[in-house]
Amino acid sequence: MQPGNGGNVRPRPQLLGRAWPARLASKGQAVSETRVPSVQEVSVLAETFRLLGDPTRLRILFYCLDGPKPVNDIAASLDLSQTLVSHHLRLLRAARLMKGERRSKQVFYQLADCHVSDMLTDMAIHMNEEDAEQEA
């Protein structure tokens, strides 16, 4: 979130220890400070996007978009085995896209932070915009 959006200001994210420039200064104004990510940063981003390229992992992320869910609910709702869901959750947690919280005997999984949820929501909106433009 940037200045001018109701007072909610999100600090600039850190990528491998260096400040990453904000995408927009305010609606419609590009930030003049930009830098090309390093080879290592691009590799990390590419690996993250590779993980997101799996439809099952994307379904899990979208299912957990509205809040924490236990593995058995994720598996049942998406018609997947608990073993498969657990495998994908392990990869998503390792990539810091999801986090788990133990509650009694169950672990509830949710998206790691607002950056992940914003990215998913923005991409879904973007895809719907492209569909609407093609129909017009």
Domain residue limits, the chain: 39-135
In the predicted structure, residue 6 carries a pLDDT above the cut 80: no
pLDDT by residue (tens digit) across 13-29?
444 444 545 544 445 55
How far apart CA 110 and CA 101 sit, in angstroms, is 8
Identify the bridge partners of residue 102 per DSSP, sorted by sequence position: 107
Q: Which CATH class is domain 39-135?
A: mainly alpha
pTM: 0.72
Identify the bridge partners of residue 103 per DSSP, sorted by sequence position: 106
In the predicted structure, residue 70 carries a pLDDT above the cut 70: yes
How far apart CA 33 and CA 62 sit, in angstroms, is 33
Q: Given CA atoms 49, 53, 56, 58 in this order, what sign does their dihedral have?
A: positive
Q: What is the pLDDT of residue 13?
A: 46
